[in-house]
Every structure is written in structure tokens, then in C-alpha cells.
Structure 1
Amino acid sequence: MAIAKQPSTKQDILQHLLKIGQASAQELADALEISPQAIRRHLKDLETEGLIIHQQVQAGMGRPQHVYQLSQEGRDRFPSRYGEFAVDFLDTLTETLGYEQASTVLRKHWERKAMEYRVRLGKGNLRDRVAKLVELRKAEGYMAEWYPVQESDCQFILTEHNCAISHVASSFPSVCGHELEMFAAALQNCKVERTHWIVNGEHRCGYLIKEQ
């Protein structure tokens, strides 16, 4: 069942939780401009459907509050780029060629993707190229965004709130290393560092991009 089939308010809740990681009912109500009572009804439905989970968090001296986040099933409602097929294919490739040869094939794939990105990004300033890269990633199923570091024109943060290849990354985490190299090769004359990683249990992947 695709996420688009969810009622719009529920879809908004899922997308907001995907973006920020976790939130209380009141925080969701404030962010989406919906009454807390309506939010709680939607949260109850989403939890019944197995799309979100909650935990109790102690806030100051008051009563513990429920904080909600996506379950794995909830994350799976977002684009995955045919992840299961890709994992099966890579398993077969590894069995046929061996791990080293399969890794070489993966590297070649990311090198080709980097060259494709480089051509499409052009030779503008880094700000424009990062903005274009984010648009390309969005088109590929990533919920991506970017912003400058303290209004800088030479340092930027690129954040991806869902991983379109999460199934592959869970089984073959080396693809994330290739992805890091791909960004650096595509942007040229830049250093790219990972700041957050979904595979490590964080709710987003983040990259610091520095002009060299």
C-alpha cells in the first residue's frame, strides 16, 4: 500500500516524523496546525496500523509524555527504489563473482553515477550545485534538503530524511561509503563528511560539504 493512499493528515504526520525523528502530540499539533485532539486520533490510528511507535519521556517535573516516531513499517511506506530486488541481485552477484568482484561492480556503478551528476550539476558556484544535487536526489525518492552553515557560501549541510536504498544499505553498508565518494566526485573540489547515518539508527543521513 503506497503512502499516497493514506489520508492527507496522516501522510503529513508520517512525513513530519520522518523529517524530525520524533515528536509529541502537542509538537505535531503545533507544527501541522491541527488540534491536539485530532492529532491524537490520527496517532492512535497510525499506531494501530503499525506505522508509528511511542515511548514515554520524562519532561521536567511533570508527568511523562508520549513521544512518537516511525516504525520500520512506517519508513517502508516511503520510496525504496525496489530495494528487495536490489538486495537479491547483489546477493546473487556476490555468490557468483565473490565479494571483492561484487564490490568492484558497486564502485563502478557509483563512479558512473557521480559522472552523471557532475554533468547535470554543471560548473556554477557551490551553492547552486548543492541545490541542484538536492533536486536530483528528490527525484530519485530521497526526502532531501540543504542549507548553508552560518550563511556561508563555502560550507553546506545536505540532509536526507529517508534512504531510497535503505534495504540495500542494511545488507551492504559499503554502498554508503561509495555514496559519500560519489557526492565528493560529483561536486568537485569539495570535501564531503558524513554527519548522520540512518544505518546507525539515526533518523536521517547528513553530509557536511566543504569547498576546498
Structure 2
Amino acid sequence: MKSTRDKILQTLLQKPRSTINTLAEAVGINPISVRHHLTNLQMEGLVEGQEERHGVGRPRLVYILTDEGMERFPTRYMQLTTRLLSQIKDTMPGPVITKLFNQIAEDLAGQYSKDMQGLSMEERLDFVKAMLAREGFTVEWEKKGTQYEIHEISCPYYQIGIAHPEVCTVDQTLISKMLALPANKVQCILSGAAHCTYVIQPAEVKN
């Protein structure tokens, strides 16, 4: 049985730009309760409120799913993505596919290049952690001796990666580009590990 919040999300999927009253009627609860759920969903980044004009008078507030909210309904998107990747792999040579995934990571890293300027190594790691979180990853890092280890506790590419492990090169390339250092993968969740781990070895500073 679906929870009230799931019903609200489902309604916004089917009827985007719904008002509180519309949601209350669709879900079967009072508008005050809907407002409470919407506040929580907005805090989680799943729902966004927007003002919409409808004739004369003050604009009304309507609600839509954010991109993250849309990801709560991944089945069809996952199937489509998997089929697209299968088609690409059937029609393109391996090196071209690798270049395509690398370009995706390089383009994303390029969006943040100015923000990384002047940061120390550990500040860069914190920045990468926050940036990957926005992309759907749960990341932690730790220092071990002279090395740093980046642990991806959860990965938004996992389901796709089962059939198309090439997609893993996106985050590996992205980390390397953001830190300007090679990211060496030492374990992978697709191989049965608890999480993916990358080892970063900063260059030695010579006196």
C-alpha cells in the first residue's frame, strides 16, 4: 500500500503543476496535511513549488517533480537507457564508446573547473564529495598514509552498470579530472564489493 507521500509524488507525475487543493482531492486528505508533506518533499529536493498566473489577481502556487523526484519512477527510464546503450554498443566500436563516456565526464568536470581553482587537495576532495552527491552518489573519503581513498557508498549508475559496466568510467574519469590526478579503482560494487573505492596518490612535494 502506497504512503501518502508516494501518492503525492505519483499524482505530480501524472498531473504536473498541481495546486495544493488538487493534490488534496487526488490523495484524499485535507490541504493542511498536503502542505506539510509538500514541505518535507521540498526539503528532500523531490518537489519544487512555482508561481503560476491564472487570469487577474495574485499568481497561484503549483508543484512539480524535480529531476530527483522523477528518479523515484526509474523503471521506464532505466529500460530506455539500457536499450539505448545496447543499441550504441551494437553500432559503435569500443573506443568510440569509451571516448563518449569520457567526454560526458570531461564536460561535467568543466562546469566546475573555476570553482576548483586555488583549493587544497582536501578541499578538492570535499568539493568532489558535494558535487557527486548532487549527481546522486553517496561518497566518503579518508586519508591513509600519503594516499587518499574515495568510497562510493551508493551509485546511481548501479542498475545500468550491471548490464553496461562501461558506464563506471564516467565517475572514475570525473574524479580524475576534478582532482587533476589519476583515480585508481581498487574495488567495485559490480564485482561484489561493499562499495567502489578509488585510490588517489598526490604528487610528492620536493624540498
* 1-structure distance, mates of 2:86, 2:130: 31
- The answer to whether 1:135 aligns with 2:135 is no
SS in 1 for 2:86: helix
Q: CA RMSD in A?
A: 3.1
Give the aligned partner of residue 159 of structure 2. 167
Letter in 1 for 2:191: N
- 2:140 aligned to which of 126, 132, 145: 145
* 2-structure distance, mates of 1:88, 1:167: 13
* 2-structure distance, mates of 1:99, 1:184: 21
Superposition map of 1:31-70 within 5 A? none
Distance 1:208 1:97, change over 3 A: closer
CA displacement, residues 126-157 of structure 1 (integer Å, 9 cap, x when unaligned): 0000011001111221111112224xxx5321
* 2-structure distance, mates of 1:86, 1:121: 31
* 2-structure distance, mates of 1:106, 1:193: 17
SS in 1 for 2:130: helix
Unmatched tracts of structure 2, length 5 or more: 7-71
Unmatched tracts of structure 1, length 5 or more: 6-76
* 2-structure distance, mates of 1:180, 1:145: 15
Query: Which consecutive aligned stretches of 4+ in structure 1 deviate over 6 angstroms post-superposition?
Result: none
SS in 2 for 1:184: helix
Question: What TM-score comes out, normalization by structure 1 length?
Answer: 0.53
Give the aligned partner of residue 203 of structure 1. 194
Distance 1:91 1:120, change over 3 A: farther
- 1:112 aligned to which of 107, 110, 121: 107
CA displacement, residues 71-92 of structure 1 (integer Å, 9 cap, x when unaligned): xxxxxx9x99x54432222123
Contact 2:136 2:156 in 1 (8 A): yes
Superposition map of 1:10-29 within 5 A? none
Contact 2:104 2:170 in 1 (8 A): no
Post-superposition offset of 1:120: 3.6
Distance 1:175 1:119, change over 3 A: farther
Letter in 2 for 1:164: P
Give the aligned partner of residue 172 of structure 2. 180
Contact 1:156 1:209 in 2 (8 A): yes
Letter in 2 for 1:94: K
Distance 1:206 1:90, change over 3 A: same
Question: What TM-score comes out, normalization by structure 2 length?
Answer: 0.54
- Count of matched residue pairs: 136
* 1-structure distance, mates of 2:182, 2:103: 20
* 2-structure distance, mates of 1:119, 1:171: 35
Structure number with the bigger relative contact order (C-alpha 8 A, sep ≥ 6) is 1
Distance 1:100 1:210, change over 3 A: closer
* 2-structure distance, mates of 1:193, 1:100: 20
Distance 1:141 1:177, change over 3 A: closer
Contact 1:156 1:208 in 2 (8 A): yes
Distance 1:83 1:208, change over 3 A: farther
